[in-house]
A and B are shown apart, each in its own frame.
Chain A
Amino acid sequence: MTFVDLALLAGPAIMMIGLVGHLLIGDLLRRIIALNVASGGVMLVLLAVAAREDVPDPVPQALVLTGIVIMAAVTGVALALARRVDAVSDESEDR
């Protein structure tokens, strides 16, 4: 049971934690955080796969890099939208 296998198991774990959190939490910001956690989990699976051999396989690593950048961009947009949603719900409360 090498470390890589353990990491391989931890990947889905973190992903499911993230997904469960994302899908059940009401507050938008915490939901975005959970989403990032889930994305981290998937990246872990990919990197664990890459690390199965002595020389790490560069292709999955490249994929993960692209994944992280995309996740960052998506989080940015999600936060912008979340801010607008909260602003709209504030207005509706004040009225």
Chain B
Amino acid sequence: MMWWIAAGWPLLLVAVLMASGLLPRDAAERLRDRGSRFGWVAVVPAGILCATAGSETVTVPWMLFGTSVALDAIARPLLAMAVVLYGLALAFIPRSGTERPALLSGLVMVCFVANAGVFAAADLITFYLCFTVMSFAGYGLVVHSGSRPARRAGRIYLVMTVLGEGAVLSAMVLIARAGGLRLGESAAAVAGSPDRDLIIGLLLLGFGVKAGTVPLHVWLPLAHPAAPTPASAVLSGAMIKAGLVGWLRFLPFGESEIGWGTAFMALALLGGFLAVPAGLLQDDPKVVLAYSSISQMGFLAVLIGVALAVPEAAGACTIAAVVYAVHHGLAKGVLFLGVQMWDVERWRRWPVAVLMAVAGLSIIGAPLTGGYVAKYGAKEAVGAAMFPATGGASLAEVLPWVGLGSTLLLARFAVVMWRRDRAPSPTPITRDIAWAIVAVAPVGAVGWLASSHEPLSTTPDWFDPGTWVAQSWPLLVGLVLAVGAARIARGPRWKDSRIAHPHGDIVPPGDVVTLEERLVSRAGVGLRAALHRLEGLATDIRARLTPPVSLVAAVARAQRSFSAWEVSGTVLLVLIAAALGWAAVNGGGA
């Protein structure tokens, strides 16, 4: 029953908001305004569900081939994270300067339901249903502002999502055919099915688009700045995790997939490292954060790769990935909302800066933060997994360098934020406090979450200086480098160099996409030309098919001559001669 309320309540609110269009003008305005202000209430039932519901699967037979949902180890924490994040985002929408707030909150609610559905789905079709609805609702968020860059971002997002959808759909069908309708058995089904590699490839491609793995990440840096801040928080915090969940559910961790494992790891590391320079050269904070998300998702992808390559470590990696995802979701959400806190909210500069610094440190994995626990768990899970390609260096040593990259990125973000001017306005107090709590709280939550999965994942003891140093040396090196770079950049010699004070023009956001756009537009032109040729071909085939008119004209001419009396008379005479002749000649034959 709880499930019905959790899913139904937000949808009901959305329906009310849409129906408001029918009411007379002023009543509609009042309704919409109240709706967006109390938008966050939509997530409360889901929160209660997440806390209280048991882990048995609930099935609704009559809905769409039978939908079933369950809160298992992966789903519950992510759902909790989603509830918190969406609640916060919904709270931040009203009076945040974005136009048509009611429409935005409606879209976010729909996204929330879909996202929750993705996490909690227990059968293939519900998963695909929620995944698709979330993708297309996401498109609504991206183009919400209606500006030209938003439309361009939206177009690219849509094209990539549709391609992703195609891949996911084919993967789903293949999995279903292999018998993996229920998510519990789908991993085993994939392992057992004849076209296993094809499925894994499609999964990589399909969910890679959503999770922003390298070649498919281009839409992320474009979408985040375009979307309104609460939307990009949700987009980066929760929706990206759907790709991760997709991998966790379907990839066959049982057997050792060395080939695919290494592929995942290679792409992930590529993403992790390349995102850093691209991010550093930007001056829009949201783009920097976007690149930071790409690198963090790279980090998670490494975990997936390891799980694939080393079957024994699969369990630990999964849990580590979930923990890390929850941590990253909350932290990244806080940072994004922090941008809005900085721009619009009533608080003074200092408290916002401090709290954002806490969130930033947590992402980097500084001790006493959620990130510290998550990173530690991940390093333990990865353990001794070797990464063959890099000449024997074990993953454990490589990961910290990723941490270094993200530290640099966050330092860049801090510099850019500091320089950003503020326009504080009288916004509601409650949401700022909530923001502050969420900024601080994750360390406890993440810690509790990691410990609750004791046997698989390990949690560092908090105050052991040895682990502190092992964990935080990349943080310190990163900070030192950042401060050094900042001092050099302020120096006169570098004052006007474009590298020191980048404006995002050296590497435009979405880097590789500009090449692809040109490619796509050329292909479009070619396709259109081909279509017109096809059209021309079809029409003249039809023209040739029309009955030969000349035959009918010949008949008409013959008929004119026939109408003369003598001619038809002669014909009759000839016929009489022929008939009688025939009778006389061989009429005798029996």
A residues whose Cβ falls under 8 Å from a Cβ of B: 19-20, 22-24, 26
Query: B576 contacts A19, CB within 8 Å?
Result: yes
Interface size class of B (residues with CB under 8 A): under 10
A-B CB pair tally, cutoff 8 Å: 15
**Interface flag for B488 (CB, 8 Å):** no
Question: Hey, which chain B residues are within 8 Å of A19, CB to CB?
Answer: 573, 576
Max count, chain B CB within 10 A of own CB: residue among A20, A23, A24, A26:
A23
B565 within 8 A of A: yes
Is B572 close to A, CB under 8 A? Answer: yes
13 further A-B pairs in the complex, CB-CB below 8 A; given A23-B565, A26-B565 = A19-B573, A19-B576, A20-B573, A22-B569, A23-B566, A23-B569, A23-B570, A23-B572, A23-B573, A24-B566, A24-B569, A24-B570, A26-B566
The prevalent SS among residues of B at the interface is helix
Give the residues in chain B near A23, CB-CB below 8 Å.
565-566, 569-570, 572-573
Cβ distance A12 to chain B, nearest Cβ, rounded Å: 9
In the bound complex, CA of A26 to CA of B569 (Å): 11
By a CB distance below 8 angstroms, the chain B residues around A22 are 569
A19–B572 Cα gap in the complex (Å)?
10
Complex CA–CA separation, A61 to B569 (angstroms): 30
How far apart are the CA atoms of A26 and B570 in the complex, in Å?
13
* CB-defined A-B contacts under 8 Å, sample of 15: A19-B573, A19-B576, A20-B573, A22-B569, A23-B565, A23-B566, A23-B569, A23-B570, A23-B572, A23-B573, A24-B566, A24-B569, A24-B570, A26-B565, A26-B566
A23 to B575, CA, bound (A): 13
A14 CB, nearest partner CB in chain B, Å: 15
Give min CB distance, B104 to chain A, whole Å: 89
Determine the distance from Cα of A20 to Cα of B576 in the docked complex, in whole angstroms. 11
User: Which residue of the partner chain B has the closest CB to A21?
Assistant: B569
Pick the 10 closest A-B CB pairs, nearest first.
Answer: A23-B569, A24-B566, A24-B569, A23-B573, A23-B572, A20-B573, A19-B573, A23-B570, A24-B570, A26-B566
Per-position contact with A for B566-588: 1 when CB-CB < 8 Å, else 0?
10011011001000000000000
A18 nearest CB across to chain B (Å): 12
Interface residues of B in 543-574 (CB under 8 A from A): 565-566, 569-570, 572-573
Q: Which of B506-547 contact A (CB under 8 A)?
A: none
A20–B572 Cα distance when bound, in Å, is 10
Shortest CB distance A86–B (Å): 15
Cα–Cα distance between A24 and B564 once the two chains are bound (Å): 10
Closest Cβ of chain B: how far from A19's Cβ, in Å? 7
Q: How far is the CB of A21 from chain B (nearest CB, A)?
A: 10
List A contacts of B576 (CB < 8 A): 19
Q: How far is the CB of B7 from chain A (nearest CB, A)?
A: 92
Q: Tell me, rounded to whole Å, the shortest Cβ–Cβ distance linking B580 to chain A.
A: 9
A20 and B570 CA atoms in complex are apart in Å by 8
Query: Please, which residues of chain A bring their CB within 8 A of the CB of B566?
Result: 23-24, 26
Q: Which residues of B contact A26 (CB under 8 A)?
A: 565-566
Contact partners of A20 in chain B: CB under 8 A:
573
Task: Quote the shortest CB–CB distance from B119 to chain A (angstroms).
Answer: 97
Instruction: Report the minimum CB–CB distance from B575 to chain A (whole Å).
Output: 11
Chain B 271-306, CB-CB to A under 8 Å as 1, else 0, gives 000000000000000000000000000000000000
Neighbouring A residues of B570 by C-beta, 8 Å: 23-24
Complex contacts, B569 vs chain A, CB 8 Å: 22-24
Kindly list chain A residues whose C-beta atoms are within 8 Å of the C-beta of B572: 23
Closest Cβ of chain B: how far from A78's Cβ, in Å?
14
Nearest Cβ in chain A — how far from B424, in angstroms?
A: 106
Query: Bound complex: CA of A19 vs CA of B565, how far in Å?
Result: 13
CA gap between A19 and B573 in the complex, in Å: 8
CA distance in complex: A26, B566 (Å): 7
* Alpha-carbon distance between A26 and B4 when the two chains are bound, in angstroms: 99
A19 to B570, CA, bound (A): 10
CA distance A23 to B568 in the complex (A): 8
Q: Given the complex of chains A and B, what is the CA–CA distance between A23 and B572 in angstroms?
A: 8
Across the interface, name the chain A residue whose C-beta is closest to B569. Answer: A23
Task: Kindly state the separation between the CA atoms of A22 and B573 in the bound complex, as whole angstroms.
Answer: 11
- Shortest Cβ gap from A45 to chain B (Å): 13
